[in-house]
A and B are shown apart, each in its own frame.
Chain A
Amino acid sequence: MRGEKFAIGIDVGSTAVKLVLISGDRKVAHFAVEPTDPRISEQASRLIREAREKAGEEVPVVATGYGRKLVREKAREVTEISCHARGAFHFLGREGTLIDIGGQDSKVISVGEGGTVLDFVMNDKCAAGTGKFLENAAVRLRLSVEEMGDIAAGTREEVSISSTCTVFAESEIVSLIAQGTDVPSIVRGLHRALVKRVVAMARTLTVAPPVMLSGGVAKNRGIQQILSEEVGLEVLIPEDPQITGAVGAALFGLDT
């Protein structure tokens, strides 16, 4: 692999660190995803070392995500907004509206030609409308987040969760269970509550089709299904939604 042009993109998120090594012809040559370690700099260094062992010591690193400042090897920092837009365009080749639901924040980006950012909004102030909302509920329901998505997608029964607040939703779940409501319909209701919150935010932009979904939560079939219902449009998902941001970062690395 040595001798060719390469770039590394590393997306240090609040729940996971994603690294992508991309070759000059824009193919993903290697990638790694790990839960974020409290010692972010060391973790990033190790992942970068592993990637550089494959492609060479000089491969430039572009860092993105909340922990981007902690990546010592970075040649450049680019924000997640720009990286997600670029990454999604790379995978899907479409302009449109990109929704990214992360562990602790969510963003909606109007993606233009070539993956440029035309407009964006984000929520990083409140856990409702982020992956955290489902994580919290999962703990209450003694389910894993992965199971929840399949349960939500596998039922048509649904109760309406009226609290958008993560804390209040938890007590609502407790009382629904106490009333004997079955778990799948609660789970689907929770997914609806999360999606509605994100869609309300998306509507502050002009939602141009197609709608694309990235971020860790994009793999969740329940979210995919309900999002498509709520926006009334088909939802496209990149091949590997979790590494969209890292791929975008790596593409910025190829520019330099």
Chain B
Amino acid sequence: MSVLSYIVSYSIAGKLLLRARRLRDSRSLSRARWDTSLIAPPLKISAWTKELISRHYLKGRYVEGIKPVAWVTSGAPVEFLTALGLCVLYPENHAALCGTRRVVEELSEAAESKGYSRDLCSYARADIGALLTGKTPVGKLPRPDLLVACTNICQTVLYWYRVLAEHFRVPLVVIDTPFIYEEATPQAVEYVKIQIEQAITTAEKVAGRKLSWSRLTRTLELSREAVVLWGEVLSRGRHVPSPISVFDQFIHMAPVVEMRGEEETVRFYRALLDEVEQRIRKGMSAVRNEKKRVLWDNLPIWYRLRALAERLAARGIAIVASTYTNAWAQLSDLMDPSRPVESMARVYLSPILNRGAGYKLSLMKEMVREYSLNGVILHSDRSCKPYSIGQVDQRKLLTRELGVPALLLEADHADPRSFSEEQVFSRLDSFAEMLGA
């Protein structure tokens, strides 16, 4: 029965319907709700992005019993899971989606009423709330057969995934990544490599088949291509005025996170790059009247993307780069399909959150120069501590050493209860006045 419903609902009807919707959407994007007198109309690729994400969750809805499912953290080495044919789901992305759909408050309260602290990451609270209530904007999440938590983003995921493991009673693979202060030591690489090898063995058991090394190599190649293209797209933000804003980046980053290692993802980013280049040729800018260019640090404020984009655009402020979206572009140099496991170990040891605050500061300084930026907004994220720690000093040093104005903006990536609209906008207005925008 479930095989039938998977084939009928997902493989045939679902995919076709979503493709039809994409065709319809691509013709009528001008109806989008964002104020196009301030901001360029949405990128044409938006219809495809929507199709990819919808299909991803639609597949999840019917996949139980058809393919084994793995739930993984956003920084987990996912290529071997994809190569083994597992259906991979990202609870963090699901929580971000809950953020954009503004249901985090309700889900979080459900988790809090069961004793989860409000100081926990709001992604974790939202997902645990979804688990407890069965409510999700995507209809239904597939039950996992395997959990993979990699500590290269934070320690929260370790405890969060232990909760999941207890709830679902399925194997949990933890990949522990030692913090990098300067360079990854050979011991650290070896340590992570061994853990990935062990993870492959566990995943093979869950998948009921052996990993094909040629498929893993191919997956890594595709992963690398997508990441390189994503980096190319972001780098077009150096053009003045910028054809793409950080809000576009937030919206179109989902595939590089969730669908790395797939053929279509590579095609998708090639098309995105084409479109962005077309915009440059046509002289089209993301913010109509770009006067000042700014860097964004930390996660997006998912539930207020539009309000923030419009408020800033009204003053001619374009946020053209961010350390966050850049994180998925940074690691392409380390990906080497000819040495798959070792290169995965290097890649997944090196994300920005697994490195010191000094590293982030030097990265921001570099971005300020490369993207010709006039200011920096540091989103001080209430419930993502690893990303926010050090920002007070980073702010001070950016101002003092580069002379660029920097603003600390207090909010939260998914929980609107930590967002105070008047105060945030008032700070942004003051910042805009200070920049002379």
Contacts and interface: CB of A to CB of B under 8 A. Distances in A.
Interface in B374-417: 392, 395-396, 399-400, 405, 408, 410
Contacts of B405: 118-119
Given A119-B405, A125-B410, A125-B420, A82 B430 contact: yes
A81 B434 contact: yes
A204 B395 contact: yes
Nearest to A252: B433
A199 B112 CA distance: 35
Contact of B423 (A117, A125, A206): A125
Chain A: number of interface residues, binned into ranges: 10 to 19
B430 A117 contact: yes
Interface string A75-90: 0011111100000000
Nearest to A205: B396
B396 A79 contact: no
B392 A204 contact: yes
Interface in B334-387: none
A119 B435 CA distance: 10
Interface residues of B, number: 17
B187 interface: no
Which one of B392, B395, B410, B433 has the greatest number of beta carbons of chain A within 10 Å?
Answer: B433
Nearest to B423: A124
B423 A79 contact: no
Contact of B430 (A79, A116, A118, A204): A79
B430 A66 contact: no
B422 interface: yes
Interface string A105-131: 000000000001111111011000000
Contacts of B434: 81-82, 116-120
A250 B191 CA distance: 65
B361 to A, nearest CB: 15
B408 A121 contact: yes
B427 interface: yes
Given A66-B426, A124-B426, A204-B392, 6 more contacts: A77-B429, A82-B430, A82-B434, A116-B434, A117-B434, A125-B420
What 3 pairs between A and B have smallest CB-CB spacing?
A81-B430, A79-B430, A117-B434
10 contacts: A66-B422, A66-B426, A79-B426, A79-B430, A80-B426, A80-B430, A82-B430, A116-B434, A117-B433, A204-B396
